[in-house]
Amino acid sequence: MSLITKRRKGENGTSTSLVRSAGSTGGKVLYTDSPIELLGHENGPSLSARFNGSGDMIATSGTDKKILLWSLPTHDDENCNFGVLSGHKGAVTAVRWLEDQSTLCSSSADATVGFWDTTTGQRIRKCTGHELCINEVDVSKETGVALSVSDDGWTCLWDQRQRESISSIESSYPLLSGTFNRSGQVFYVAGIDPTVRAFDVRDSSKPLWECAAEGGDSITSLAVNGDDSVLLSRGMNGYINTYSAKEFVPEGIPRANPYVYDGAPSGQEQQLIRAQFSTDNVSIISGSEDKTVTVWDFASRKVTKKLSGHVSTVISIDHHPSENLIVSTSVDGTVIIREF
């Protein structure tokens, strides 16, 4: 498979790159005349993309069963793809970096969770226990424990040192999304049943709370803001709902915000489109079936940007941990990095 970096041309016809070296300091500064399109997942949709904690590497995955590793494109990087992780027997539905920044966790339609050493390219652990497609995986930054949710209705917690799950919860319907909060003490799951459920990692025998999403459609994405105070869910109908993620909500005060963020349509293709908060918590960012990355102002709920470039549905997005950059993936197989 050919792996290349396609540099789009600026208005003057010259090729540009996204970041470049900053003189003799060796640092890097933004150079954002145009987006950069990474061409790697050529045989089907790109399903997931994530920056590592320092933001100098990106992992992407797709229906081609591969995980591609990229260095953040710089002025002198003509080919920034430095690794391909192979071993899953089905589409790789999600990838997440662990805090050590050299270990990656993945989920797959082959019903396994994988832990990978990105330095050697070897799979450290193949975790089994699910019976159907795993739709998403997330990793606690505090403990390194991974969370997986599956079409089989099970939520499983994994330690990379063990092949079998360390905890599991059964639900009656397929689960499409799951995430930890920033502290790693609480995790949230949702899916075909349009209800968000919160669990304590230390005791997952029953939910801490549960709340139905406005609009009543399957939930394809969950994400928490930077201070663990707000949770968002994205529905198959394109609506984004928000909830108080605080441990205690005063009696008589609803946990769910009655307002929705709309303007990023979905539902026709039944894709698991993801959404998240920007790193500064000012914006909500989401994929969309209208081929754009859609951005809302969190406070006003107004759409502030529609970022084009993909030629098909945008599935996954991620915001750089410190710079004003986002990465997005699409059904068209491409991955685009651009200024946000």
Give the global pTM.
0.90
Give CATH superfamily name and number for 43-339. Answer: YVTN repeat-like/Quinoprotein amine dehydrogenase (2.130.10.10)
Rounded to an integer, the average pLDDT of 88-111 is 97
**In sequence order, what DSSP letters do the residues of 134-181 get, joined into one string?**
EEEEEE-TTT--EEEEETTSEEEEE-TT-SS-SEEEE-SS-EEEEEE-
Rounded to an integer, the average pLDDT of 68-87 is 81
Tokens at 87, concatenated = 């071993």
Interatomic CA distance for residues 99 and 137, integer angstroms: 15
List pLDDT tens digits, range 197-229.
999 999 999 999 999 998 889 999 999 999 999
List pLDDT tens digits, range 120-163.
999 999 999 999 999 999 999 889 999 999 999 999 999 999 99
pLDDT for residue 286 is more than 90: yes
